[in-house]
Structure 1
Amino acid sequence: MLVSLLGILEMVFAGGPEVGGEEDLTRHVNVFQGTTKGGNRFPGVVAAPFAMVKLGPDVMNGRHDAYSGYLPEGRVWGFSMMHESGTGGAPKYGVVSQMPVVGDIANPLLDLSQDRAVPDEAEIGYYKSSLANGVAVELSATQHAGLYRYTFSKTNTSLFGNSSSSNMHSIVVDVSHVLPSFRRFGWEQHYSGGEFEYDATDGHYQGFGTYNNGWNLSPDWNIYFCGRFSKEPESWKIFKGTNSSGETLAEYGSNEKVSGTQRLGGVFTFKERELRSRVGISFLSTEQACENLDREISTETTIEELASTAKSTWNAEVLNKIQVEGATEADTKLLYSSLLGMFLIPSNRTGENAAWDGTEPYYDDVFTLWDTHRCQTSLFHIVNPTAYEEFIRSLIDIWRHDGFMPDARSSNFNGRVQVGSNADNVLADAYVKNVRGAVNWHNGFLAMQTDAEIAPPPNNDPMAPDSSTKEGRGALPDWLKYGYITPAYTRSVSRAIEYSNNDFGLYQMAQGLGYDDDAAKYLNRSRNWRNHWNPRAESNNHTGFMVPRLANGSFVDQDPLSCGGCYWGDAYYEDNPWIYSLNALHDIARLKALSGGDEKFVDRVDKLFDLNIFNAGNEPGFTSPFLYNFVPGMQWKSVERSRREIGRLYSAEPGGLPGNSDGGAMESNIIWQMIGLWPLTGQTTFLILSPWFPRMTIDLGTGKTLTITTTGGDKDTAFYVQSLKVNGEEWNQSWVSWQDVFEDGGKMEYVLGAEPRAWGSEVPPSPASGDG
């Protein structure tokens, strides 16, 4: 449940329907959505979509990984400037940290962590933790800077648990602070060293930290910082040491720079009960960090002003792009809380690119296109097309300088590729939907062709040493030699189906650019998933499944109900053979024929639910419940699965996601279902489902809108499509195209009812199935 702010914030924000001239839809947002039950969402302050600074608490709870820094239970051990959201694998960032301590502190290497006296409070642009020692920590931020407000009560509890009425309080700035991992996979972050200095003449401190590893196995990278307090400290010191016993602790009190690989930071002691701390960060230099700070947060800037600006920004750039009428408050909160969740990462680091000089936009913290390409990137395009074009240009620019586009990227380093090279799908999707602007599409095709033709060298990943998990297609040698992937490579079957989809993306681009020979080549390669189809594999009255295949051409015996461990070393990654055998989304007509025709295909999709195979938290199965649309008159079953099997798993509450957010993949999934459409990435096709709201208006930019209305329906009981008009025309297709409703806007008018109807006799195209 979203907790309200203190009285002063209530006075600022409450009552008014608008903030900054926009309707204030942030009042429907629960920033704690998806923060429990494995959702891994970041609930702290993100001042704008994709802001570089993500300021919030870091919590320790035994040996549980805090992927976004936050855990609902445990001890707070710092408040740091950088986090990711919804990631798995291992935590990343948690750098440039501060921690308030009651009294003067002799040894800052001690465990300074504190329990929380009450649950944390937050809204967009504002975060508050009330610590057990009596210190209240309030946070707000901008794109590149953060503002802390500390309030020390008259009687605080000291580090050792006793009551203290001391007027002295300390802030510990810890350069060596980083989010740990306890999974023993070799993915944990490391602090490599840093530098710290304090200039007593003007009262600012600055420095940098060097860190490495994390889920993408990145080498050393630097983050620079610059901080100022609202009051001059009574005393201060720089510390350097290696352990909490203090035996190796060294302290410095002059203006010299202190550097080294040992733990490092500063301790600042004050007597004021209220203190503000401003911090700027940069990937480029301490000078740039100070410029970011002074430009974005002045000495007079307040928490309330920053929070109000953040609300206005989120309203204008994301939330107000989708307007609904006639919705319940629960569904409204789900919609807008989910919109927040899908725009937290990647991070827009344009102007902060430490990897190379250039004028192109730069986006980092891509986690991961394997997760997000199915439905997040297509919604990103619609809600914020300007940023989306920048993102596409950034992917191409990363290829231009680093040699490969990322499937995932963080701290200026590509990695980790889970299965396919899914930047290919994302670029193809943008191209066929007419994203143009300043995108160099010739270079975009060359970037995709690099994935399709050049095998990246192995990067010695301990979880998958057979080939690269850094970038590109690690199993490409088999793909080019055999037209399938042998068990010599891990995740062989999953890779084969995704490489087929990736090659279909190259076909789409080559066809549009007029590269006819390349188009024919990649269309043919996009059908290679069929080479893994064993027509003799059997399971639950069905024959034909995708299975591993040896170099001699023989199939490996495989139980279609088993994926082994479903992880890095297995033939199937994060899902099972039943799901992957339905994932040739560009070649469904051939898939239906191999499955035994329409009736058997429907029963095959039914079995995903009858046998409890489908898992809404696994991305490979995201489209599976909606494949009924490819059978005439069976669209109603897609709607039924959406409402009864998936929709009930979501809410705006902390446990309201059915799995890891995965960078907004899970949130965009439910938003598409609320809209009543489902995207097929790399195609212009959207499968028709059933809208949740009586009226929804989507702002498409440049004055264009898509309006979706329903009559005769009820979200929970009367949700089957009885009839549909698209732009005033009677519609009996179970799909619409980009050109129908998004390119120039449009109108979709549904009549819904309580009984299923065999509506949707015209099925979607199957563009790779033209060979019969």
Structure 2
Amino acid sequence: MGIRKFIPWPAIALTAAQVMTTYDHEAIDYSTYVSPFVGTTGGGNMFPGVSSGPFAVVKLGPDVSSGTTDAYSGYLPSGNITGFSMLHESGTGGAPKYGVVSQMPVAGRIMDPLADFSMGRRSEDLAEVGYYKSSLANGVTVELAATNHAGVYQYTFPSEQTNSIYVDITHVLPSFRGFGWGQEYRGRNIAVTTDGRYTGEGSYNKGWNLSPDWTIYFCGKFSEKPQSARVFKGSNITEARMADTSSVNTRVAEKIGGIFEFDSSTVTSYVGVSWISTDRACEYMEQELSGPPKFEDVVQTAKDRWNNEVFSKITTSSTNDNDLKLLYTALYGMHLIPSNRTGENPLWTSNEPYYDDIFTFWDLFRCSTALTHVLQPEAYEEQIRSIIDIWRHDGFMPDGRSSNFNGRTQGGSNADNVLADAYVKGVQGSINWEDGYSAIKEDAETQPPNNNDPIAPEASTKEGRGALPDWLKYGYITPSFTRAVSRSVEYSVNDFSLYQVATGLGKTADAQKYLDRSRNWRNHWNPDASSNGHSGFMVPRKADGSFVDQDPLSCGGCYWGDAYYQGLPWEYSMNAHHDFAHTTELVGGTLRMVDRLEKMFEEGLSSRAGKLSGTIFNPANEPSFTTPYLYNFVGRQDLAVQRSRYVAKTFYTTATNGIPGNSDAGAMQTWLLWNMIGLYPLTGQTTFLIGSPWFESMSINLGNGRALKITSSGGNSDTAYYVQSLRVNGENWTKNWLTWSDVFENGGTMEFVLGTQAKKWDTGDPPPSPASDK
């Protein structure tokens, strides 16, 4: 099979007429607006390889090493390609994960399996939805496609000399950070027959979540019989004999794998993977790649899945190519993980769905899970059921989870918030909410065993609430626990989530108890702490009740061992959104709150450098996500629109560095998507804060014949974005917020009139602040 012709993605964008005149979603290839390389530089850590559809298991792509820089998703723009492997994460940080079940093409014979076969590129990699291409310096071209559990490697060698494909079972993505988070190969085996079919398994450990040994099974074959098929252990190579199977086993970190030689210039490799068995991996390969299919058909099937299951969920009449690329690239990025491994759980037998690769609810609960609910209601219900089932069998729900192992919990037990959000919005299906409530309550009342993490050794970072003893004893968290202040804010939100579910289930006493506890963030409020003309900030508090002297513009390293995690005291002091009316009272009222919010966007007040321009607000970290929309609470919706639109238009682009920092598994993309829609969710509540939509017309398919249709008139350019008036479901709307039941539960309409000047249109009640009102 020859090299597939690649058409650069901007050249095949839809014409304006196509977008505007057709409503036949199947006739539109929205994938042409997607650039998989957005967010692959500048710390975005996005995975640009192939994924056959939303939440697919296999993510097949290149693994690149510079020798000094962690390749979290496998990809780096420069360095040598060390292999093309089957499993990856996307948009994550901490330390790399996976990069396993790897192949590498070699022009010529392989005499020493311990040699370095890594190779530079002769040109830049190319990618589109469902397709990836690398051109190596040795003249080999590699093209990739995938199904849900299998991958296709199409190799074109520079000549018909003897060429080799090197299968390295020991291959993982390395880490150079020196934290002890780097993955290790732990052993297992490979078996090869002379017809080129091979099976085996590899065991590995660690990665960012410090998972103990986990095992991947694989099964592979080629489009033609190899000239020779050999296995190796260390430098020892064994030739496979006719009708025999040759195999090697190892339980130590000694290099093992297979070497396959061909006298053809084109070879296609097919590989299935499973977390259960080699037989299951072979079944996936044969079933999902039956025939086997043409390479182009595998690519097209992936495009069709993405178009039908994701991209067609949001349609717009826009003719702005840049905005459309931002829209559909963001939709793609938010659907790469978690991985739907239903039927692939090696730990227990269950009829419940199973999702893995959650990185992490700390990143996702603020706005990503809420958008997943809107766009993928069936998958969302499955994810809720999955994390409850993890509690049933592992004892705690995950904040993060990968390779079937919980970890890490960065702040609170934020799966609590995800469950509460689903509950208050009426998600039922097959969810057992009594079990869901018990899972949340476990987090609230039981301290998890200490996993002795060197970076935060005083309590568990694996799951649950490690600092729970202080929370229960003092109503705040002392500096004896790391991340004391950020944990306190999040524990308060977690307890509010428990209050929400307890209320709905009629557990009155519990509801009052956890509502009271949800106000405990106030115990960290020091009215004397001052900065930039404002007084009152959340600071660390000792066991004797005294406050620690804390500069509100400093968080130390903002990392695991500090009082504040990935955010300044300024930011965390504004994060108790369920109690924001009380926060406003503490800072001195609405006018003082407006000024405080303005200070967060004023340049030069923070030591942050680079494109952040020294603002306290940080678009690259989640504690700032809701900040632009907090103006709605104090009657300045115009400033919410101005600030949020500025952030979206300034820090998000279609360039490779077009995400403001780490994507955080799609969290950044969902923040952008909500900005485009013109709403922002308050997780754990039914409230959505109203912003300003980007498009003159947008339709969101909610399933079961329901849709939310959003229109705007009067401008909607980069300057005419201030709301002049709004009608919701045909009625004049004077609140700068609405609820799930208003526009999402049964669908609805929002009709905006926009203009170039701010106007006071939101004369109705402010957004709810439920912990302040009771």
* TM category, shorter: over 0.9
- Contact 1:126/1:303 (<8 A) preserved: no
- 1:8 positional shift: 9.1
- 1:167 positional shift: 1.1
Q: Which residue does the alignment assign to 1:363? A: 355
Question: Closer, same or farther in 2 for the Cα pair 1:265/1:548, shift >3 Å?
Answer: same
- Contact 2:456/2:560 (<8 A) preserved: yes
Partner of residue 382 from structure 1, selected from 370, 374, 383 = 374
- Contact 1:338/1:652 (<8 A) preserved: no
Partner of residue 769 from structure 2, selected from 742, 766, 769 = 766
Q: Which residue does the alignment assign to 1:391? A: 383
Tell whether 2:730 aligns with 1:728. yes
- Contact 2:648/2:675 (<8 A) preserved: no
Separation in structure 2 between the aligned mates of residue 194 and residue 103 of structure 1, nearest angstrom: 28
Q: Which residue does the alignment assign to 2:144? A: 139
Task: Answer with 542-551 or 18-27: which moved more.
Answer: 18-27
Q: Which residue does the alignment assign to 1:424? A: 416
Q: Which residue does the alignment assign to 1:608? A: 600
- 1:252 positional shift: 5.1
Question: Closer, same or farther in 2 for the Cα pair 1:497/1:8, shift >3 Å?
Answer: closer
Partner of residue 428 from structure 2, selected from 423, 436, 440 = 436
- Contact 2:95/2:208 (<8 A) preserved: yes
Give the 3-state SS of the residue equivalent to 2:229 in structure 1: strand
Q: Which residue does the alignment assign to 2:249? A: 259
Partner of residue 188 from structure 1, selected from 160, 182, 202 = 182
- Contact 1:29/1:333 (<8 A) preserved: yes
Question: What pairs up with 1:131-210 in 2 under 5 angstroms?
Answer: 131-154=136-159, 167-200=161-194, 202-210=195-203
Separation in structure 1 between the aligned mates of residue 542 and residue 465 of structure 2, nearest angstrom: 19
Q: Which residue does the alignment assign to 1:212? A: 205
Separation in structure 2 between the aligned mates of residue 758 and residue 5 of structure 1, nearest angstrom: 56
Q: Which residue does the alignment assign to 2:622? A: 619
Task: Answer with 94-103 or 535-544: which moved more.
Answer: 535-544
Tell whether 2:36 aligns with 1:42. no
Separation in structure 2 between the aligned mates of residue 541 and residue 331 of structure 1, nearest angstrom: 39
- Contact 2:231/2:240 (<8 A) preserved: yes
Tell whether 2:32 aligns with 1:27. yes
Separation in structure 1 between the aligned mates of residue 14 and residue 451 of structure 2, nearest angstrom: 55
Give the 3-state SS of the residue equivalent to 2:59 in structure 1: coil
Q: Which residue does the alignment assign to 2:612? A: none
Q: Which amino acid aligns with 1:40?
A: N
Separation in structure 1 between the aligned mates of residue 628 and residue 192 of structure 2, nearest angstrom: 59
Structural RMSD (CA): 1.7
Partner of residue 687 from structure 1, selected from 686, 689, 700 = 689
Q: Which residue does the alignment assign to 1:551? A: 543
- 1:5 positional shift: 6.7
Separation in structure 2 between the aligned mates of residue 7 and residue 52 of structure 1, nearest angstrom: 25
Separation in structure 1 between the aligned mates of residue 666 and residue 173 of structure 2, nearest angstrom: 21
Give the 3-state SS of the residue equivalent to 1:208 in structure 2: strand
Question: What pairs up with 1:102-141 in 2 under 5 angstroms?
Answer: 102-141=107-146
Q: Which amino acid aligns with 1:190?
A: E
- 1:327 positional shift: 4.0
- 1:299 positional shift: 4.0
Task: Answer with 284-293 or 252-261: which moved more.
Answer: 252-261
Overall identity of the aligned pairs, in %: 60
Partner of residue 88 from structure 1, selected from 88, 93, 96 = 93
Partner of residue 232 from structure 1, selected from 225, 229, 240 = 225
Separation in structure 2 between the aligned mates of residue 358 and residue 22 of structure 1, nearest angstrom: 39
Aligned length, in residue pairs: 748
Give the 3-state SS of the residue equivalent to 1:267 in structure 2: strand
Question: What pairs up with 1:130-529 in 2 under 5 angstroms?
Answer: 130-154=135-159, 167-200=161-194, 202-241=195-234, 246=235, 249-251=236-238, 253=240, 255-260=245-250, 261=252, 262-529=254-521
- 1:300 positional shift: 3.2
Give the 3-state SS of the residue equivalent to 1:586 in structure 2: helix
Q: Which amino acid aligns with 2:230?
A: K
- 1:760 positional shift: 1.5
- 1:284 positional shift: 0.4
Separation in structure 2 between the aligned mates of residue 468 and residue 102 of structure 1, nearest angstrom: 49
Q: Which amino acid aligns with 1:257?
A: S
Tell whether 2:573 aligns with 1:581. yes
- Contact 2:45/2:92 (<8 A) preserved: yes
Give the 3-state SS of the residue equivalent to 1:587 in structure 2: helix
Q: Which amino acid aligns with 2:619?
A: A
Q: Which amino acid aligns with 1:618?
A: N
Deviation string for 1:328-363 (max 9, x for gaps)?
Answer: 100000000000000000000001111111110000
Q: Which residue does the alignment assign to 2:660? A: 658
Separation in structure 2 between the aligned mates of residue 22 and residue 225 of structure 1, nearest angstrom: 36
Separation in structure 2 between the aligned mates of residue 7 and residue 579 of structure 1, nearest angstrom: 45
Q: Which amino acid aligns with 1:517?
A: A
Task: Answer with 641-650 or 134-143: which moved more.
Answer: 641-650
- 1:538 positional shift: 1.0
Separation in structure 1 between the aligned mates of residue 118 and residue 318 of structure 2, nearest angstrom: 46
- Contact 2:14/2:32 (<8 A) preserved: no
- Contact 1:22/1:320 (<8 A) preserved: no
Question: Closer, same or farther in 2 for the Cα pair 1:389/1:768, shift >3 Å?
Answer: same
- 1:15 positional shift: 8.5
Question: Closer, same or farther in 2 for the Cα pair 1:301/1:5, shift >3 Å?
Answer: closer
- Contact 2:230/2:237 (<8 A) preserved: no
TM-score normalised by the chain length of structure 1: 0.95
Runs of 4 or more consecutive aligned structure 1 residues displaced over 6 Å after TM superposition: 13-20
Separation in structure 1 between the aligned mates of residue 771 and residue 27 of structure 2, nearest angstrom: 45
Give the 3-state SS of the residue equivalent to 2:77 in structure 1: coil
Deviation string for 1:569-596 (max 9, x for gaps)?
Answer: 0000001000000001000111100010
Q: Structure 1: any 5+ residue segments left out of the alignment? A: 155-165
Question: Closer, same or farther in 2 for the Cα pair 1:451/1:14, shift >3 Å?
Answer: closer
Deviation string for 1:386-443 (max 9, x for gaps)?
Answer: 1100000001000000000000000000000000100000000001111110010110
Give the 3-state SS of the residue equivalent to 2:383 in structure 1: helix
Deviation string for 1:25-79 (max 9, x for gaps)?
Answer: 1111111111110000000000010100000000011310000000111111100
Q: Which residue does the alignment assign to 2:608? A: none
Deviation string for 1:475-525 (max 9, x for gaps)?
Answer: 000000100000000000000000000000000000011111111110000
- Contact 2:31/2:328 (<8 A) preserved: yes
Q: Which amino acid aligns with 1:770?
A: D
Deviation string for 1:355-389 (max 9, x for gaps)?
Answer: 11111000000000000110110000100101100
Task: Answer with 230-239 or 15-24: which moved more.
Answer: 15-24
Q: Which amino acid aligns with 1:6?
A: K
Deviation string for 1:626-667 (max 9, x for gaps)?
Answer: 1100012x1000000011234321012211101101000000
Separation in structure 2 between the aligned mates of residue 548 and residue 759 of structure 1, nearest angstrom: 40
Q: Which amino acid aligns with 1:270?
A: F
- Contact 1:675/1:691 (<8 A) preserved: yes
Q: Which amino acid aligns with 1:209?
A: G
Q: Which residue does the alignment assign to 2:753? A: 751
- Contact 2:231/2:247 (<8 A) preserved: no
Deviation string for 1:529-548 (max 9, x for gaps)?
Answer: 00000111111111110000
Give the 3-state SS of the residue equivalent to 1:562 in structure 2: coil
Q: Which amino acid aligns with 2:501?
A: M
Q: Which amino acid aligns with 1:639?
A: V
